[in-house]
Amino acid sequence: MLIGDRTLRYGAGSCFVYAVETPGTSQLIEASAARPYLAIAFALDIEVIATLLIDHRPAAGGDSFATYPADDELLDAWRRMLRLLDRSDEIPVLAPMLEREIAFRLLQGPQGAKLRQLARADGRLSQIRRATQWIRAHYNEPIDVTELAALAHMSNAAFHRHFKAATAMSPIQYQKQVRLLEARHLLIAQPGNAARVAFTVGYESASQFSREYARQFGLPPARDAARLLARGEAPTLEID
């Protein structure tokens, strides 16, 4: 997983947990027909975390996003959750309980401290999340970092520092990553004029878009899209 200037590697039996939505790309380096790649995503409910914080005091520690081996307790909760796929009549009763247990196990892990911040409206990650949500919703518009800092209730200096710590990139770099990933998606879904795609995602210069796209993905827009279409690949767009 590539996020900003950081590379995270993880394999079978590991989990990737992030507390702030961050654009990124991923690459599979070990997979085959005999041993295919399989991953499961789980969206954390902030209200569930907040409730757990009232009842328990989980261990502290961790970064904004990280990979680490899933322990036996977390894997056991996952197994029981997945078994419900074959027991649809049990889902209404057991799924909420298992969701709560999974959230509790994650709070006990390396990301516990960051996940706890999300449950606090005045927590640093909660404040940064407000800014990232705005960028993602308005990625094709010019951004004013001063206004984003105000949205996060921080000074400009503090906002830059905490944004970089949470996402491994600056606000401008964050927006550029979102734009380029969305452009790649558009080029795959609707092959055609790269210049039109550039303007759609917010670029004012098609040549600048082409340069930054090639720097990010290794090929100019049209050639990259043709390569992915020929291979039948679907690009990983962003962490959601």
State the CATH number of the domain containing residue 224: 1.10.10
Q: Indicate the residue among 172, 192, 210 that finishes a domain.
A: 172
In a domain, 4, yes or no: no
Domain count, the chain: 3
The per-residue pLDDT for range 41-52, each reduced to its tens digit, is 888 787 787 777
Q: At 197, is the pLDDT very low, low, confident or very high (cuts 50, 70, 90)?
A: very high
108 & 127 share domain? no
User: Residue 109 has what DSSP assignment?
Assistant: S
Q: Please give the residue range of the domain that contains residue 211.
A: 184-231
- Shared domain check, 65 and 16: yes
pLDDT for 87-109, tens place per residue?
999 999 999 999 999 988 888 87
User: DSSP class of residue 25?
Assistant: B
Q: Is residue 237 assigned to a domain?
A: no
% residues pLDDT > 70 (the chain): 88
The CA-based diameter of the chain, rounded to the nearest angstrom, is 56
**DSSP secondary structure, 125-165, as one string:** HHHHHHHHHHHHHTTTS---HHHHHHHTT--HHHHHHHHHH
* Cα–Cα distance, 6 to 42 (Å, whole number): 22
On whether both 94 and 133 belong to a single domain, the answer is: no
More confident residue, 111 or 38: 38
Q: Which of 32-36, 169-173, 195-199, 201-205 has the lowest mean pLDDT?
A: 32-36
> Is 93 found in the same domain as 52?
yes
Q: What is the DSSP letter of 44?
A: P
**158 and 210 share a domain?**
no
